[in-house]
């Protein structure tokens, strides 16, 4: 797996509340859920190919094969998605995060397709909201003919989801990663991001956090990581971080 790191402390790595019961899982995967394993998210690549591999030898050029160029420009896409996150009116889901109830906005279609757990969470709250609307209509029969209920109506409204067990900045960074495939991991946020990556099954982000912890340990920064990890001691995923850090003591 190819990773590129900036100078520490930053690394660039490309309601039934039971859904928020945190579960650690094995993060040693070969596949990935986003761009962490890509070489450079800002690269613009052009590749031209003619025919099959066999046509690249000394034989005459085969004009029967169509010329194909593969072009990708992911940097601009990532920057535009970041811009959308800064425009609440363009988003259709808002997470109310932490004890201070800080709003963090996102696009449910993107989040639901990037994380199976996030999809289940969004669908659950859509169903809960639809049930609440139906109950309200039963209490006020006069408005029943004029108001549509169900998940179809929820799709046209902003969905509100409370999130209590994360720091608002950490959760904002998680949402950014889900949308854009990149995030800056620091010593202060690595524990929270690792717990969130474990809970929402973002395998590449989980592996990136573990890589960052290993690098911090090698340069003697384990003590600071221990302090930030204790803030997430209620999450089961932190046991892996504690084990790594305590072995260095």
Question: Which residues on adjacent β-strands are paired with residue 13?
Answer: 183
Q: Is residue 19 very low, low, confident or very high in pLDDT (cuts 50, 70, 90)? A: very low
Q: Please state the pTM of the whole predicted model.
A: 0.68
Question: What are residue 50's phi and psi, to 5 degrees?
Answer: -125, 115
| pLDDT for the residue 56 | 46
Average pLDDT, the chain: 77
Per the CB < 8 A criterion, the answer to whether 160 and 104 are in contact is: no
Alpha carbons 129 and 107: distance in angstroms, whole number: 17
Q: Which residues contact 118 (CB under 8 A, 6 or more apart)?
A: 111, 112, 178, 200
Strand, helix or coil for residue 147:
coil
pLDDT per residue as tens digits for the range 63-94: 677 888 988 888 888 888 999 999 999 999 99
Q: Which of 211, 227, 210, 189 is nearest to 25 (CA)?
A: 210
Does pLDDT of 40 surpass 50? no
Domain boundaries in the chain? 11-40+74-247
For the purposes of burial, counting CB atoms within 10 Å of the CB of 217, is it exposed (0-12), middle (13-18) or buried (19 or more)?
Answer: middle
Q: Is domain 11-40+74-247 classified as CATH 1.10.760.10? A: no
Q: Which tokens go with 131?
A: 């049930």
Average pLDDT on 41-64 reads: 46
Question: Under a CB-based contact definition with an 8 Å cutoff, are residues 198 and 210 in contact?
Answer: no
For 190, other C-beta atoms within 10 Å of its C-beta total 23
Contacts of 82 (CB under 8 A, 6+ apart): 176, 179, 180
């Amino acid at each position: 797996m190819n990773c590129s790191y900036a100078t520490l402390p930053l690394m660039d790595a490309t309601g039934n509340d039971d859904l928020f019961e945190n579960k650690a899982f094995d993060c040693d995967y070969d596949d990935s859920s986003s761009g962490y394993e890509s070489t450079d998210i800002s690269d613009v690549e052009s590749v031209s190919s003619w025919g099959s591999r066999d046509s690249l030898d000394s034989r005459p050029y085969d004009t029967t094969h169509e010329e194909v160029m593969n072009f990708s420009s992911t940097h601009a896409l990532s920057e535009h998605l970041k811009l959308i996150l800064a425009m609440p009116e363009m988003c259709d889901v808002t997470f109310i995060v932490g004890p201070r109830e800080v709003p963090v906005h996102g696009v449910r279609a993107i989040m639901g397709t990037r994380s199976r757990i996030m999809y289940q969470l969004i669908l659950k709250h859509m169903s809960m909201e639809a049930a609440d609307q139906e109950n309200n209509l039963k209490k006020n029969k006069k408005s029943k003919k004029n108001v549509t209920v169900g998940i179809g109506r929820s799709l046209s409204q902003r969905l509100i989801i409370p999130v209590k067990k994360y720091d608002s900045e950490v959760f904002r960074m998680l949402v950014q990663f889900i949308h854009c495939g990149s995030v800056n991991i620091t010593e202060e946020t690595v524990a929270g991001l690792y717990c969130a990556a474990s809970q929402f099954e973002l395998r590449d982000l989980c592996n990136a956090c573990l890589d960052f912890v290993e690098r911090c340990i090698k340069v003697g920064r384990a003590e600071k990581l221990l302090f930030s990890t204790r803030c997430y001691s209620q999450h089961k995923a932190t046991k892996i971080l504690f084990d790594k850090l305590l072995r260095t003591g």
